[in-house]
Amino acid sequence: MQTVPPGTPCWADLATPDLADAKRFYAALFDWTGRVAPQPEAGGYTTFLREGLAAAGAGPPATPDQVPIWSIYVATDDADLVATRVTAAGGQVVVPPLEIFDQGRMAVFADPAGAAFSVWQPMAMRGAEVFNVPGALSWTELVTPDPEGAKTFYELVFGWQPEEHPTDPTDYTGWRLGDRVVAGMMPPLGDGFPADLPAYWAVYFAVADADDAARRATELGGDVLVPARDIQTGRIAALRDPQGALFSVVALRELG
């Protein structure tokens, strides 16, 4: 397995107060199987597998008052250096770098608008082993009321270069790292989302059919926040799981 390059989103995991029900919901929605961490102190942390390959994870919340949330991890070869850059750029170190058994080093941060994100410095665990196929992580996207501040912050922290893409109803920003656009950003649109929702990182999982995935999510106890709609790269829908965690699905279109 190749390591995801530093500065590239490499993993997503869910913090949820009902891990058993989350495993039921996502296993049925994405055809995932689960592998539970053997260490008791891991709290039942589960790696979701797609055809035997690591796709995402889920575990209990860090604190009793933590809301259910999907978190993104950006690969790094030096979590401590990223922490220094986050502080210098005006962000917050929420959880300082620490080792997770023999798997890797992680840290949790918040950007100046409050959007939480993590980094992963790999050891035994490299991150996701599969991307951009049904049931795998496909895209990460910052939704923020302060796009200009975010452009400055993430360039200082990860070296991302903002790249504007005019779209309707609002302009879209892609973040380029070298020869790849590794993530995106857009302002809040409001439709279907709580008006007081803070800045956050959205995760997109690939599916074969976005309309079918939205229908199945409701049958499994989730909600559709934004019905399936077409975008340039495919068809997307914004969903919420039974515990309240937001996520999106995308049926990728063949481009060529």
Statement: residue 168 has pLDDT above 60? yes
Spell out the residues 6+ positions from residue 51 whose beta carbon is closer than 8 angstroms to its own.
130
pLDDT of the residue at 192: 53
Residue written as token pair 């080792």: 99
pLDDT of the residue at 195: 56
Q: At what angle do helices 210-219 and 19-30 cross, to 10 degrees?
A: 150
Lowest mean pLDDT among 12-26, 153-167, 193-207: 193-207
Domains in the chain and their CATH numbers? 9-122 (3.10.180.10), 137-252 (3.10.180.10)
Residue written as token pair 């933590």: 66
Residue range 26-77, pLDDT digits in tens: 999 999 999 999 999 889 999 999 999 999 999 999 888 889 999 999 999 9
Instruction: At 179, list the tokens.
Output: 């020869």
What is d(CA 19, CA 245) in angstroms, rounded to the nearest whole number? Answer: 12
Query: Could you tell me if 105 and 97 are in contact, meaning their C-beta atoms sit under 8 angstroms apart?
Result: yes
| pLDDT, mean of residues 206-218 | 98
pTM above 0.85, yes or no: yes
Burial of 194: CB neighbours in 10 Å, binned 0-12, 13-18, 19+: exposed
Query: Could you tell me if 92 and 113 are in contact, meaning their C-beta atoms sit under 8 angstroms apart?
Result: no
Using a CB cutoff of 8 Å and minimum separation of 24, what contacts does 88-97 make? 88/156, 89/152, 89/153, 89/156, 89/157, 90/153, 91/153, 91/157, 95/62, 97/121
The beta strands (E) that lie in the chain are given as 9-15, 33-36, 46-50, 53-59, 69-75, 92-100, 104-110, 116-122, 137-143, 161-165, 172-177, 180-186, 200-206, 223-231, 234-240, 246-252
Lowest mean pLDDT among 11-20, 46-55, 103-112, 159-168: 159-168
Query: Could you tell me if 8 and 177 are in contact, meaning their C-beta atoms sit under 8 angstroms apart?
Result: yes
Statement: residue 128 has pLDDT above 80? yes
Confidence of residue 1 (pLDDT cuts 50, 70, 90): very low
Query: Could you tell me if 29 and 20 are in contact, meaning their C-beta atoms sit under 8 angstroms apart?
Result: no
pLDDT of the residue at 64: 84
